[in-house]
Amino acid sequence: MAKVLDSKIPAGPVPEKWKEYKAHQRLVNPKNKLKLDVIVVGTGLAGASAAASLAEMGFNVYNFCIQDSPRRAHSIAAQGGINAAKNYQNDGDSVYRLFYDTVKGGDYRAREANVYRLAEVSNNIIDQCVAQGVPFAREYGGMLANRSFGGAQVSRTFYAKGQTGQQLLLGAYSSLSKEVQRGKVKLFTRYEMEDVVIIDGRARGIIAKNLVTGKLERFSANAVVIATGGYGNAYFLSTNAMGCNCTAAIQCYRKGAMMANPSYVQIHPTCIPVHGDKQSKLTLMSESLRNDGRIWVPKKLEDAKALQAGTKQGYEIPEEDRDYYLERRYPAFGNLVPRDVASRAAKERCDKGFGVNNTGLAVFLDFSESIQRLGIDEIRQRYGNLFDMYEEITDVNPGEKACTRNGVDYYYPMMIFPAIHYTMGGVWVDYELQTTIPGLFAIGECNFSDHGANRLGASALMQGLADGYFVLPYTIQNYLADQAIWPRLSTDMPEFEATEKAVEAEIDRLMNIKGKRSVDSIHKELGHIMWEHVGMGRTKEGLEEGLKLLKALRKEFDTNLFIPGSKEGLNVELDKAIHLRDFILMGELVAYDALHREESCGGHFREEHQTEEGEAKRDDENFFYVGCWDYQGSDDKAPELIKEPLNYEIIKVQQRNYKN
Ligand SMILES: Cc1cc2nc3c(=O)[nH]c(=O)nc-3n(C[C@H](O)[C@H](O)[C@H](O)COP(=O)(O)OP(=O)(O)OC[C@H]3O[C@@H](n4cnc5c(N)ncnc54)[C@H](O)[C@@H]3O)c2cc1C
């Protein structure tokens, strides 16, 4: 019989659910907290905030990361900002509106109750971070400043220049450091979780590899929390940090944690275009640039051809020959439509031949109008570090004047193109952020929770910090309440022994393949398959072909991989091989999910299911559910689909409209 998922959404009206939950959930008394150990894997914004909060509450925390410092978690890369419903601009914002925008932005595929809670705690996050000293941008009078992000008609994004993630992570890190100093958090840097240990059906510990010595070590606890980030690097080229991986999440999946909505992958519209096949990383140009930058391509095909041939420059094309296609198609939101909509619109123009770089795969992002209006100093103050980053990579300065025509100054436009950026899918969790394995929790980008089929800009930091500072510290107590009566589990137990042996055997298997291909060459091939067949535009035939290719690639990995060196000591190639093994399985999950979902929604675009105007066409009658995938005991077997039906109580499900 198919498994049934219990999302544990509390009863009562949506706006009251979280308050009700907090009023009635079980608590752990202060003395008992001292007896309870929690493993938190990850020190990004989700992991660091959870580890610091749990330790401050009295729990003993073991916190792991693969980097040499918690401060190097991928969260540090976040540029543009973090959302909150403070309504400082007095522009009509509210908790309800942030909730509504997030559900609508996610194309009505998120859980209402989770999203309402997220909007509700968003304001607490800002207060918490300000108290930690996070230097958010301020207005002249001292109020915190805001800017706009896609999918919203209000300005609710708090930011610290283009370094918001870095500043927030420093705040979380300072709280974490305090707890490390107090002895409540034991920090394990350069350790990688390789497996979760299950005893009597509950998560009771992990096996981690010391990445410097190569040794496997056992850790036991009363609960395990993974905060290990997203799986964007399954596409090889992405805006994610090179170390981002989904090994912990996939290993939990192999042990019984279901994977939800894996096909919901976000393709960000404003990245620096790919410029060759030697590249291993793509660079994001923050969405905040769409506040003041205007996106366009030429109206005339001959202009596009001249741009592609390099015989014409963007600034030479007169105003009347420019097609500001987002403003044309979506007058109400213009350049600030959500990411999925903006990405598809760019692809549509490039597919029609209007691309502006030598590959024909780029559109312009132009600041001429805003520099005329606000002056270069103001624009540099807002985006200076992003302009510098763009110039360092492309040798073009978007703040430099290119020419003056009819009294109007024209500046060098940026070139941008969509790229893989974020994963809305992830480990399935209930309202308490607990996975289908009791005692195993998942927070931040590695869970599937709050963004539906498309995440709005500046909402990932909000979700990660909401999970870590304000949600998990309550919900985990409901699980831990009766755990204090059990003695600490010894890591000599047979379950620890068996799990460690299995990890060791798997490492030996990989080392002994002794084939001819490097990890990177297979990873690159994986990326090509994913982008071509499971990328921005998906079809039944393409996905079926993609699945075949992925299975063949797994075979190639299993028989022709070459890892230099030995398993003892530091071996980066071995670590990358472990990640790649899991990216391939994750890629298959993305393809299975995309194939079964015979509709288009948010970041999942099935070309067979689009409106006459080329917009995503949902099928609410048949697909109004979370698609959860259950492992069937072997990587070779197809996973089983389990559905969690969605149930909306206050939002009316309708066709998304950003036109009026
Ligand atoms: C370039 C860029 C800019 C962005 N800008 C914004 C923005 O402006 N606003 C916004 O809201 N969002 C933004 N995002 C998204 C946002 O940064 C991420 O979604 C978010 O930071 C993820 O946080 P996290 O804590 O879940 O995971 P991460 O920050 O990815 O942290 C993962 C942690 O897990 C650890 N880890 C991973 N695997 C293991 C393992 N097996 N064992 C042990 N440890 C492990 C890592 O060491 C790390 O500490 C941006 C993303 C990118 C790529």
User: How far apart are the C-alpha atoms of 381 and 377, rounded to whole Å?
Assistant: 6
Q: How far does residue 175's CA lie from ligand 1's centre (Å)?
A: 18
Minimum CA distance residue for ligand 1 atom 6? 78
Contact between 659 and 329 (Cβ < 8 Å): yes
pLDDT score, position 657: 78
pLDDT confidence band for 141 (50 / 70 / 90): very high
Q: Which atom of ligand 1 is nearest to the CA of 194?
A: 41
Taking CA atoms, 586 is separated from 38, 230, 527, 580, 627, in Å, by 27, 11, 12, 10, 15
For residue 460, which atom of ligand 1 is closest to its CA?
Answer: 11
Query: What mean pLDDT do residues 26-34 have?
Result: 96
Average pLDDT of every residue of the chain:
96
Cβ < 6 Å from ligand 1: which residues? Answer: 41-47, 64-67, 73-75, 77-82, 164-165, 192-193, 227-229, 239-240, 244-245, 247-248, 284, 421-422, 444-446, 458-461, 464
Nearest to 595 by CA among 577, 585, 608, 582: 608
Q: What is the pLDDT of residues 550-607, one digit of tens each?
A: 999 999 999 999 999 999 999 999 999 999 999 999 999 999 999 999 999 999 999 9
Backbone phi and psi for residue 538, each to the nearest 5 degrees, phi listed first? -115, 145
Q: Find where tokens 């209006």 sit.
A: 373
State which of 246, 289, 461, 578 you would mutate to test the pocket of ligand 1, scoring each by most atoms of that ligand within 8 A of its C-beta: 461
Pick from 399, 147, 417, 79: which is nearest to 270 by CA? 417
Three-state DSSP class for residue 64: strand
**pLDDT, average across residues 226-235:** 98
Q: What is the pTM of this model?
A: 0.95
- Helices H / strands E in the chain, number of each: 19, 21
> In ligand 1, which atom is closest to the CA atom of 459?
11
Distances (CA, A) of 344 to 6, 54, 62, 149: 35, 41, 43, 17
pLDDT tens-digit map of 331-360 = 999 999 988 899 999 999 999 999 999 999
Extract the tokens encoding 633. 């005991």
The residue whose C-alpha atom lies closest to atom 14 belonging to ligand 1 is 78
CB 403 within 8 A of CB 305: no
Please tell me the distance between residue 77's alpha carbon and the centre of ligand 1 in angstroms.
8
Q: Would you state the pLDDT for residue 440?
A: 98
From the CA of 43, give the closest atom in ligand 1: 49
Those residues whose C-beta lies under 8 Å from the C-beta of residue 410, and which sit 6 or more positions away, are: 315, 368, 401, 402, 403, 404
Q: What is the mean pLDDT of residues 123-130?
A: 98
Nearest atom of ligand 1 to the alpha carbon of 48:
25
Band of pLDDT at residue 1, cut at 50, 70 and 90: low
Percent of the chain exceeding pLDDT 70 equals 100
Q: Walk across the sheet containing 265-271 and list its strands.
A: 265-271, 414-423, 363-366, 294-298, 322-323
Q: How many residues does the chain have?
A: 660
CB atoms within 10 A of CB 449: 30
pLDDT for residue 198 is more than 70: yes
Report helix, strand or coil for 255.
coil
Give me the pLDDT at residue 435, please.
98
